[in-house]
Structure 1
Amino acid sequence: MDPRHPTDGDSGTPSSGQPPHGGTPQQPPYGGSPQRNPYGTPQQPGYPGQPPYQGQPYPGPQYGGQPPYPGMPGPGPYPGQPQKTSVPAILSLIFGVLGGILISVILGIVALTQIPKKGQKGKGLAIAGLAVSGLWLVGIVVAIAVFGDGEPDRDASGQVTTTQNTRPDKLRVGDCVSEINEGEVANIKVVPCDQPNGGKVFAVFDLPAGDWPGLTAVQTAAENGCTTRWKASKQQASADSSIFYLHPTEDGWSLGDRGTTCLLTPK
């Protein structure tokens, strides 16, 4: 059979779904519902029979306000970069510990100036460097006050004016000392020669340069050198006296000390 469209009766005229001669509409068979959109989707706004879309405008994201979604936490503050420690503050403490007072003080001041401006850490280090440098400075002042700076006070003619401690290598010809003890001498007390004293310097000279020849050789060279120089001076002691000499030690020799000091001491 050939497929045919539904017809009304035998007329062969296709049915349009409208009642003939203005009758009532025919109900769809099997209890179906009225005809809908053939694709089963709701009609879009603007189509006939539908009102235009009246929805609310889509709220865009609000920056700096409340979170756009309920229950979601808002954006927190952006984490900043970790603070760096001031390099001058670190160096100030290092030089302070090592005794570099001037450098430590300068770097400490620079650090304390820069730290607030750059938002850095290290203020405590800078203060510690300055404090340690201050302790060094106080120690040096005390040492100078107690032991002297090595060079005794002299008048215009070069004579010692007050009793004070000095190093043996600071003694000059004509200086007088309070007393001399055998053994290694780190400091010696000088006095004005118009006061009672324990010896007077009559010669100062250097031993020949070279490797350390040994203690005995150094003592022999120092004794011979002082004796020869006393005889050459043709001086006469006013009282029974003896020759005493100060010679370099092995440690001092390694540091370049070759000095020998000759004194005439009363017996």
Structure 2
Amino acid sequence: MGLLLPKIVDMVPAVAQLDPPGQPGLAPYPSAPSGDGRSPYRPYPQYPPYPPVTPDPGMNGFAVASLVLGIIGGVLLSVIFGIVALVQMRTRPYRGKGLAIAGLVLSGVWVLGLAALIVVAIASGADRDPAGELTGGGSVSARQLRPGDCVNDLEDSDNVLSLPAVPCAQPHEGEVFAAFALSERDWPGEGQVLEKADQGCHDRFESYAPTADFESLELFVLYPTQRAWMRGDHNVTCVAMDPAGKSTGSLRG
């Protein structure tokens, strides 16, 4: 027993030195904030806030409509919708600005094209003297043909809008000898319209060309379709054709 005691005593200082208070080199856990408000803890770094998310309003419907109408020739609506779309895009970030501009450009192209056609039609129109006689060749509306006009390109068609007219001294296929309007108010049917038009032309030929032989000629009749009738066009135009081909001079001699 006398030998064991020194060993026990020697161990006590070793155990006591495991964690002596205030031992240099050992870092204690941080304590709670002190009374002056300072904290030993380091603050977390501050991250910038996320930018606000702006909702996408999508494609502007007026811009799409402007483009479609510009393609098919709806000039007036295309221009209106295109302007509305561009105005809306000033206040909201709609997509489709290029479509709206394209619709406006196409509408301008349509307008220029129509203007060019009108100019060409006016320039190519037939000339008349003060008495109404043709003095030069040109296109004449079917409703504006007059007795004494000579015409070409007479072909069967359901929609004859105009014919090339020339003075009768020039080679021509037919000569207009009568123009009148049917008296019926309601649409009588295509068969009745053609029958009345044919009879009216026969009745008026002799007064136009008393010395001409009507039986040796062919009759070409311009008469209104049902659609034209509903628009108020009841006019009939009678044209006498030489079956031998083009001729010169008038049937009136």
Structural mapping, 1:231-246, within 5 Å = 231-233=206-208, 235-237=210-212, 241-246=217-222
Q: Which residue is equivalent to 1:175?
A: 149
Structure 2 regions of 5+ residues with no counterpart? 1-33, 244-253
Structural mapping, 1:1-267, within 5 Å = 53-56=35-38, 70=44, 73-83=47-57, 85-86=59-60, 88-109=62-83, 111-112=85-86, 115-116=89-90, 118-134=92-108, 136-137=110-111, 140=114, 148=121, 152-155=125-128, 157=130, 158-182=132-156, 184=158, 186=160, 187-207=162-182, 208-215=184-191, 217-233=192-208, 235-237=210-212, 241-250=217-226, 252-253=228-229, 255-267=231-243
Residue 137 of structure 1 deviates from its aligned partner by 4.0
Q: Residue by residue, what CA displacement relative to the aligned partner does 1:171-219 show, whole Å, maximum 9, x if unpaired? A: 223321024234545242212333222222121112223233342x333
**Quick one: structure 1 residues 167 and 234, their matched pair in 2 at CA, closer, same or farther if it must change by over 3 Å?**
closer
**Quick one: structure 1 residues 105 and 233, their matched pair in 2 at CA, closer, same or farther if it must change by over 3 Å?**
same
Task: Name the SS of the counterpart of 1:78 in structure 2.
Answer: coil
Provide the TM-score with structure 2 as the length reference. 0.61
**Quick one: structure 1 residues 110 and 256, their matched pair in 2 at CA, closer, same or farther if it must change by over 3 Å?**
same
**Quick one: structure 1 residues 126 and 241, their matched pair in 2 at CA, closer, same or farther if it must change by over 3 Å?**
same
Alpha-carbon distance in 1 for matches of 2:224, 2:76: 33
Q: Which amino acid aligns with 2:173?
A: G
Q: Which amino acid aligns with 2:50?
A: G
Alpha-carbon distance in 1 for matches of 2:187, 2:208: 30
Alpha-carbon distance in 2 for matches of 1:75, 1:159: 87
Structure 1 regions of 5+ residues with no counterpart? 1-51, 58-67
Q: Which amino acid aligns with 1:54?
A: D
**Contact map agreement 1:242 1:265 (CA 8 A) in 2:** yes
RMSD across aligned C-alpha pairs, in angstroms? 3.8
Alpha-carbon distance in 2 for matches of 1:246, 1:171: 10
**Quick one: structure 1 residues 53 and 143, their matched pair in 2 at CA, closer, same or farther if it must change by over 3 Å?**
same
Question: What count of residue pairs does the alignment treat as equivalent?
Answer: 203
**Contact map agreement 1:246 1:261 (CA 8 A) in 2:** yes
Provide the TM-score with structure 1 as the length reference. 0.58
**Contact map agreement 1:92 1:104 (CA 8 A) in 2:** yes
Task: Name the SS of the counterpart of 1:82 in structure 2.
Answer: coil
Q: Which amino acid aligns with 2:128?
A: D
More helix by share: 2
Percent identity over paired residues: 33
Alpha-carbon distance in 2 for matches of 1:262, 1:188: 13
**Contact map agreement 1:161 1:192 (CA 8 A) in 2:** yes
Q: Which amino acid aligns with 2:38?
A: Q
Alpha-carbon distance in 2 for matches of 1:238, 1:142: 44
Alpha-carbon distance in 2 for matches of 1:164, 1:260: 21
Higher RCO (CA 8 Å, separation ≥ 6 residues): 2
**Quick one: structure 1 residues 184 and 120, their matched pair in 2 at CA, closer, same or farther if it must change by over 3 Å?**
closer
Alpha-carbon distance in 1 for matches of 2:128, 2:53: 71
**Contact map agreement 2:128 2:136 (CA 8 A) in 1:** no
